[in-house]
Structure 1
Amino acid sequence: MTSVDTATRRARQHAGPAWMIMALACACQFMVILDSSIVNLALPSIREDLGFTATGLAWVVNGYLLTFAGFMLLGGRAADLVGPRRMLVAGLLVFSASSLVGGLATAAEVLVAARVAQGVGAAMMAPATLAVINTSFTEPNARAKAFGMWSAAGGVGGMAGAIAGGAITTGLSWRWVFLINVPIGAVLIAVAMAVLAGTRTGRREPLDLAGAITGTAGLAALVFGVMQSADHGWSSALVAGPVVAGLLLLVVFTVVQARFAAVPTMPLRLFRSRAVAVGNGMLLLFGAIPIAMWYFTSLFLQNVLGHSALQAGLGQTPAAVTFLVIARWAAPLLPRTGARPLVLAGSACFLVGFGWLAQADAASGYLAGVLGPTLLVAIGIGLTFPTLMAAATADAPEGDAGIAGGLANTAGQVGGAIGLAVLATAAGTRAASEAGGRLSPASLAAGYDLVFLLAAGLGLAIALVSVLLPRHRFTRSPHLQESSVSGGRPLP
């Protein structure tokens, strides 16, 4: 047994209660995902107060998403090197401080800079929460439950943002969309310092500087170029340039990891596990599914059926509750059924649900055209998301738990960014072709229906790729056998 293993086992004996560790991980994930959507309904007020241009206003959203996706791999590796406790606390500090700056901002540039910093904090927090789960819950059933709760927390965070953003902006001010993170962050920092005292597994090893620079810059350039496509088209130099540069940097990053890095930022040995390799590939495909579900369904409710933003958020609440219940219920099935049956069941829900949504038009009511299919899609997300996250991280060695979590989060975020750009372009092109010069609810519905058909196609692609998943049921991995004796913990 190594000294790290011995220290880890000794530390776990002094860790906080399982329910507090799980609550902390879920609360952090909820806050990270909440802030990717809560600002959307506050954008008109922000533009009016701070004098944003239309192009500049988009960076209140994009600045966060860009650094969140771009720094995730680095955040995951740092969690392995310095320990998930330190990385989570540092991420909470960065996130809370930048939220304070954003809430007090009196200039557009200050708010955008604060959102960029928020994204960095989120990229530190998200993989650290997965590392906490992987190192704290090593017994298969407990870990599966933990993944289900963590996944549900993120999904509900995204949905809650659509409701809370409108309510906070209307009842208080857009500034409280950011300021509310400050007291919450302070509480979570105190909890993390107390209950994660025994989960530190950090190692004194050098940071792979070349890998960190090329990997982070490559991901950031790729996501930036994809984000630009909605405004400039895929053939524009503003899109093609960053995308090509990002891909080239990622090639350099891979070469550095394979041949030159003494302690790689992303150890390529992780991909020797079929579950890790296929799981991350499927997360890349899956990333666009929640976008089609929450974002474009919200637009359909508002722009086609005429609902207000708050009504649209409330209209999606049944699906959010369904997702929460299914994710919590389905995740414990993973050790018994394996990943493939759950993914196939989820893909079937995507096919039927999105196929049903694609039939909706301006004459469809909420009950007949939206509620039923969104419940089906929510069931599919609840079955699929925690399963893929478990598949993509379960076989990673404990010392690589942070980077495995960062890689899985990165795959989902990059898939979502690419998916949003492609789906938004498809919807706009179809709506314009149907409009005959003037957009109408009917032409917009045609664009959204195309998005839902494409999402159904992604569900089919996920089902086909799932045949590559290993048949094992994610029972305890060999490298976790010894630590599970003292470190495995049940969940309430």
Structure 2
Amino acid sequence: MRRSTSAKPGLTLAAVAVVQFMVSLDLSVVNVALPQIAAGLGFSAVGLTWVIHAYALTFGGLLLLGGKAADRYGRRRVLLLGLGLFGLASLLGGFAQAPGHLVAARAVQGIGAAALAPAALALLTTTFPAGKARVRAFGIWSAVNAAGGALGVLIGGLLTEYAGWRWVMFVNVPITVGALALTWRLAAAPPPARSGRPDVLGAVLATAGMTLLVFGIVRTDRYAWTSPVTVTTLAVAVALLAAFVYVEWSTAREPLIRLGLFANRSVTGANAYNLLLGAAMASSFYFMSLYLQRVLGTGPALTGIEFLPFAFGVVAGSVLAVRLGYRLAPRTLLVTGGLLTATGFAWFGLISPYGTFAANVLGPSLVAGVGFGLCLAPVVSTATVGVAPHETGTAAGLLNSSRQIGASLGLAVLGTVAHHRTGPAATPEALNDGYALGLTLGAVLLLGAVLVALTVLRRTSPPSRAGRTDDHDALLARN
């Protein structure tokens, strides 16, 4: 007789942990290799941003569809499909011979991640429905998630310097094989209830609209904002996004996102905050990686090591957020974390072409890292306040999508502005001016996020200590 996945909780936890580590690793491992990728494949300064955009847009745009597909067709089946796509794209990306090849591989990686990430989390949720085992399982999941992001920059730097940039893509292949082997051993769960067909058209419209919007913005390095090419591109992008809204409102299928959710101020505020946070963070990783290597002349391996203080700051901020979470309201933590991170970014904006790691990077890395860590748990818990139980998964998926889409939009806008400030000269002084402007504007985006928290989110009291165990359990589940 076939056992359900819950009969193998340890195996399920191991499979999901490996998957989450890989997804988190991939979000950061490429950043340190960007200068070498540009030199190896001939990317332009603006074109290089598409190594990030291609992944973020397909991942963020298709994440909700991935969750719906996992619920309809089975979590294990969708997880296996996502892993296969992700591993194959990583292998092909490592063999890329032209910029377009790598961008296409990164886009397929994003599609695979959009399938495997929600399916893996859903498997974990159903395998550990309640109790201490659930808290422990989600604690391990959260730790692996943080470890993947923290180690990604270090691993990326070491691989780039000692094995070549292609290995930041190849490294995913053995991890994928291990995850596939673990997932294959899981027994198939009972067939899921099929309430309605997933809204594929909505997912395609949203992803195409966002991609065209980013494309129009980054192409302003070649075509002015008022040129027919730019105006037409942006107009078509807006039309596609408007069509997405109409489809979500009128579709007979199960929509990706019920528009009525946005009547909930917690949902709207948390996602607006998260979009701005994602925009600032993705841009900062991009600019600081280039600053350390192109301006200060730091090698890839040492660059990876020099990102560690930020990672340690995030861990410290996350621990502090848990300790303060039952004394301060989530809104207070979001404001405090946002202000701290903005302070760190404004400090980053003072970088100098003649600077050093100790003088220009270490201090702001710690401040921004702690601030970012303070934001992570409160924004997740806020995003599902007042949401019906059957829509909490959708609300959580929407939050992940908003961060990825924010990352791509933020990098498109700030990367383009920085490129215009740098101009045709690629001297360390000119590059420094562009990166400094981009980092300063990241601080402005974070101040915008703080303003959202103050004006959109309602004032609430901190959770009572009496409900600490249940609330902590729910928070981990949502994260």
TM-score by length of 1: 0.79
Distance 1:46 1:70, change over 3 A: farther
The answer to whether the 8 A contact 1:159-1:294 is kept is no
Change (3 A) 1:425 1:109: closer
CA distance in 2, matches of 1:438, 1:175: 28
From the superposition, tell whether residues 253 and 289 of structure 1 become closer, same or farther in structure 2 (CA, over 3 Å).
same
Q: 1: distance between equivalents of 2:136 and 2:337?
A: 18
Q: Which residue of 2 aligns with 1:14?
A: 7
2:457 aligned to which of 457, 466, 469: 469
How much has 1:151 moved relative to structure 2? 6.6
Q: Does 1:426 align with 2:423?
A: no
* Residue pairs, 1:201-240, within 5 angstroms: 203-230=194-221, 232-240=223-231
Give the stretch that moved more between structures: 238-247 or 101-110. 101-110
1: CA distance between counterparts of 2:136 and 2:268? 22
Letter in 2 for 1:450: L
- Between the aligned partners of 2:204 and 2:298, the Cα distance in structure 1 is 45
Aligned counterparts of 2:434 and 2:145: Cα–Cα separation in 1:
28
The more displaced of 162-171 and 133-142 is 133-142
**Any residues of structure 2 matched to 1:307-326 within 5 Å, and which?**
307-326=298-317
Mapped to 2, the partners of 1:474 and 1:189 lie a distance apart of 42
| Cα distance in structure 2, aligned partners of 1:341 and 1:138 | 30
Distance in 1 of aligned mates of 2:385 and 2:134: 9
Q: Does 1:377 pair with 2:332?
A: no
TM-score by length of 2: 0.81
Instruction: Report the Cα offset of residue 286 of structure 1.
Output: 0.9
1:422-471 CA deviation, whole Å, 9 max, x = no partner?
Answer: 22233233344xxxx85544443333333333222222222221133244
SS at match of 2:383: helix
Tell me which of 26, 37, 40 is aligned to 2:31: 37
Q: From 210, 234, 238, give the equivalent of 1:247.
A: 238
1:455 equivalent to 2:442? Answer: yes
Runs of 5+ unmatched residues, structure 2: 465-469
Counterpart CA distance in 2 for 1:151 and 1:21 is: 14
Using a 3 Å threshold, how does the CA distance of structure 1 residues 47 and 364 change in structure 2: closer, same or farther? closer
Alpha-carbon distance between aligned partners in 2 of 1:30 and 1:146, rounded to the nearest angstrom: 17
Determine which of 301, 305, 329 is the counterpart of 2:292: 301
1:27 lines up with 2:21 in the alignment: yes
Cα deviation for residue 257 of structure 1 reads: 1.6
Alpha carbons 2:196, 2:253 under 8 Å: kept = no
Residue 26 of structure 1 aligns with an amino acid whose one-letter code is Q
Residues 74 and 216 in structure 1, CA contact (< 8 A), matched pair in contact too: no
Query: Within 2, Cα distance between the matches of 1:54 and 1:460?
Result: 27
Distance in 2 of aligned mates of 1:284 and 1:489: 20
Counterpart CA distance in 1 for 2:234 and 2:67 is 23
Query: How many correspondences in the alignment?
Result: 467
For 2:434 and 2:57, locate their aligned partners in 1 and report how far apart those are by CA, in whole Å: 26
Take 2:72 and 2:79, find their aligned partners in 1: how far apart are those partners? 13
Q: Deviations over 1:347-374 (max 9, x none)?
A: 2212322232233323433222221111
Measure how far apart 1:475 and its partner are: 7.0
**Is the CA contact 2:344–2:365 (under 8 Å) kept in the aligned structure 1?**
yes
Q: Distance in 2 between matches of 1:141 and 1:371?
A: 38
Deviation at 1:346, TM superposition (A): 0.6
| Matched ranges for 1:249-268 at <5 A | 249-268=240-259
Alignment match of 1:125 (pick from 116, 120, 126): 116
Pairing 1:367–2:358 present: yes
Q: Which of 262, 267, 288 is equivalent to 2:279?
A: 288
Counterpart-to-counterpart distance in 1, 2:376 and 2:274 = 8
**Shift of residue 247, structure 1, vs aligned partner:** 2.0
User: Residue type of the partner of 1:469?
Assistant: L
What is aligned with 1:270?
261
Does the C-alpha gap of structure 1 residues 201 and 288 become closer, same or farther in structure 2, counting only changes over 3 Å?
Answer: same
Instruction: Check whether the contact 1:72–1:410 (CA below 8 A) recurs between aligned residues.
Output: yes
314-323 or 289-298: bigger deviation: 289-298
Residues in 2 aligned to 1:441 and 1:448: alpha-carbon distance in whole angstroms: 10
Identity of aligned residues (%): 35
Counterpart for residue 172 of structure 2 = 181
Q: Structure 1's 442 and 217: CA in aligned 2 closer, same or farther, altered over 3 A?
A: closer
Q: 1:38 to 1:429 in 2, by over 3 A?
A: closer
SS at match of 1:287: helix
Q: Distance in 2 between matches of 1:199 and 1:391?
A: 32
The structure-2 alpha-carbon separation of the partners of 1:386 and 1:41, relative to structure 1 and needing over 3 Å to count, comes to farther
Structure 1 residues 107, 211: closer, same or farther in 2, change over 3 A?
Answer: closer
Q: Which amino acid aligns with 2:315?
A: L
In the TM superposition, residue 46 of structure 1 has moved relative to its aligned partner by 4.1
1:392 and 1:224, CA in 2 relative to 1: closer, same or farther beyond 3 A? farther
1:82 aligns with 2:73: yes
8 Å Cα contact 1:127/1:403 also seen in 2: no
| Alignment-derived partner of residue 3 in structure 1 | none
1:75-118 deviation per Cα after TM superposition (whole angstroms, max 9, x unaligned): 23323333444333321111012223333556776554433322
Post-superposition CA distance 1:155-184 (Å, at most 9, x none): 654554444334324433444333322221
- Partner Cα distance (2:383, 2:129) in 1: 15
* Kept after mapping to 2: 8 A contact 1:319/1:374: yes
Q: Comparing 349-358 with 37-46, which one deviates more in the overlay? A: 37-46
